[in-house]
Structure 1
């Protein structure tokens, strides 16, 4: 196994693109260059960014690994079958009886989010890594933790009333906490300094009060948590969803509208809102300027850099990739592929430009993701 350096430092994220035959391209934004890597641990697997140099992969065999795309190092984690809650419910049934479809369903949809954090101050040791996953087939949602080499995952006890709602996690090294945010924006935390109990604690309600009918609007939305140089930011992403091809198989709903479950959809990110946590006042403050910050969100834990420290990085902006949270939408597109919703959003001007134009950003199960390259 190749030995990797786990120094947690500010560095420019790289973009891991979709697999192409037996290789994958990695895009270096600061140099506007692609590098080809042979990464067998990613072939045919669903991949998740972890907010570090490690990427979590899930295979059709339900095995879970961490791999470093630069050094080819690999760490074994407990499999999906070692999670406290299994894909099959108490009745032992899944939506599909075909084992092939069942394996694809579990690979593609069972894990929602992953995070890697060191357990101690000395973080060069791979045995100190703590891996957090948010998982479960809809509508279920759980949190579990494990270390490389463990035989099973440990369950983190949820807060009553929030058992199925967690969407995002962020590691705060200065506070010794892992933060979790629900789909509605409620903030909770797990204190790494306490060995027991493995339980979440509530902290703050959502920075946004959503209208009661937000689920029936044309927008999807997703919260991201960012630990940014000691500050906690909540980034709210709004995605516009629209019909591009009508289906002839239609019915009239209770509101008198002609609808169909088979219309082909299009989608694109419309705008972002950013909120900063005031720890002393215990409240969120909406931001209208990111100054020299560049935020990175998508199919991985969100991160930030000081833009002026890196060539080719645009400050006061949000770089975004497609998100596995929008999978139900991309599977309703004409080609049923995700990965097309990528760009750099100028925060004060509310405009978007592309940052990558290659043809290897589309996939039916594993879209591009950010990772922070870590090498000796």
Structure 2
């Protein structure tokens, strides 16, 4: 087996003439190819053919599509340069295949945390710079910072990933309370109603936080956008209440709730907005009425010290309630400040299936495993993917970001530390990647990457 492995490495580095002169026995070649990845197998096979032979090979397009779909997006684009028929399949595969999100964050140079964190933690600037870094999960690559002049002085609150809403990011300027939508790949901005028109109030007692957080920052906790990108629904972090606007509105429209729930997450799915309350109760939001309201769909879930997220699975037509448990950690570096930060310790997942009538069941069922599913949580409508559709992605995992980090440390130069992968099988947490400080006032968010030009 060791010999086969060594020969395999040698073959990959050979050109067409060397491979033909080697003339290995077919049985030996079969054993070698069987030890190779799909990418290496295709590469070695193509290396002994010229352009005309490749075009004459004329593999069935369905077979070619399945082969290309097993390769990374980068390899798919490269293979499209082989010949015209491969280019056609490459374009088809690239446009049809789903893409994993990227992680967008402040680069180290913009955080200013390193240079001031030992002197005056209270004096850190909250204005955000114009650069953003992106981590490509599929390629395991952290790209160089990208310049976005449109983001100077703005905090990126939420990103969207569904249909025509895909790619949009919600921003806010604390000083002027201006809210906008920004599309980083198309460089387009749309104005939203001013933050001051959102529902007032504070869902938390003043003693809940050690630092007077609400006197300084204005934040959108969660948001969702309709598939046609015409309606935006938000949860105001001051009040945990729902409000929405249609693009072009001057004010936010409040949504009433008979149960006076404090909401934690909202998504748009199958033509409607769904919201989940802090205590795990699911509701559907009715906005096409004179008095918008929330209709409660499920019974209460006991979620002590768990934070609920809502995830839609179009394949099974089910909704999932993902409960995230976090542990508080004291900040040793600043003992004179009564402050803590949180790290994720556990997840629980409940499925809300459909009745025969098409209505959602009132009692969610807890799941022990996600199977082939992979869930992405953060300051964005949660996403779900099938691991089998992506090379190197493992199922039964939950990818998460520290979307609650700034609530516990916005006035001190905390580094985001709660970005990781949760394994549903053994309940372990793995760090997604290691990097230097990024200020917690603008935690990383999942964004959909630009569509590749092929």
For residues 114-148 of structure 1, the C-alpha deviation after alignment (integer angstroms, 9 at most, x for no partner) is: 11113xxxx3xxxx5211111152xx332111123
Query: Cα offset for 1:222?
Result: 1.2
Aligned equivalent of 1:276: 351
Counterpart in 2 of 1:131? 232
**Aligned partner (choices 281, 284, 297) of residue 377 of structure 2:** 297
Aligned-partner Cα distance in 2 for 1:51–1:40 = 21
Gap regions ≥5 residues in structure 1: 1-6, 89-93, 96-100, 215-219, 250-261
C-alpha separation in 1, matches of 2:319 and 2:295: 17
- In 2, Cα distance between equivalents of 1:316 and 1:84: 38
| Native 8 Å contact 2:159 2:379 kept in 1 | no
Q: Secondary structure at the match of 1:225?
A: strand
CA, structure 1 residues 284+248, in 2 after alignment: closer, same or farther (shift >3 Å)?
closer
Distance in 2 (alpha carbons) for counterparts of 1:226 and 1:188: 13
**Which structure has the larger Rg over C-alpha atoms?**
2
Structure 2: runs of 5 or more not aligned:
1-94, 111-129, 162-166, 356-360
Q: Distance in 2 between matches of 1:86 and 1:244?
A: 31
- Alpha carbons 1:245, 1:264 under 8 Å: kept: no
Q: CA deviation at 1:182?
A: 0.9
Look up the match of 1:258: none
Q: CA deviation at 1:246?
A: 9.5
Count how many residue pairs are aligned between Structure 1 and Structure 2. 318
Q: What does 1:105-144 correspond to in 2, within 5 Å?
A: 108-118=217-227, 123=228, 128-137=229-238, 140-144=239-243
The 8 Å contact of residues 223 and 267 in structure 2, kept in 1 or not, is answered as no
Give 1:339 deviation, angstroms: 2.2
- Matches of 1:245 and 1:38 in 2, distance apart? 35
Q: Where does residue 254 of structure 2 map in the other structure?
A: 155
User: Is 1:31–2:111 an aligned residue pair?
Assistant: no
Alignment of 1:53-68 (within 5 A): 53-60=167-174, 61-68=176-183
Cα shift at 1:43: 3.0
Q: Which has the higher contact order (CA 8 A, sep 6+)?
A: 1
Q: Take 1:342 and 1:355, find their aligned partners in 2: how far apart are those partners?
A: 6
| Residue number among 438, 443, 447 corresponding to 1:371 in the alignment | 447
Relative to structure 1, the CA distance from residue 161 to residue 322 in structure 2 (aligned partners, 3 Å threshold; closer, same or farther) is: same
Aligned residues of 1:13 and 1:371 also touching (Cα < 8 A): yes
Residue 70 of structure 1 corresponds to 185
1:233 corresponds to 2:320: yes
Q: Which has the higher helix share?
A: 2
SS at match of 1:328: helix
Structure with greater strand percent: 1
Please tell me the root mean square deviation across aligned C-alpha atoms, in Å.
3.1
Cα displacement (A) at 1:366: 1.1
Cα offset, 1:179, TM superposition: 0.9
Q: Could you tell me how far apart the structure 2 residues matched to 1:291 and 1:58 are?
A: 38
The normalised TM-score by structure 1 is 0.75
Shift of 1:289: 1.0
Q: Distance in 1 between matches of 2:189 and 2:413?
A: 31
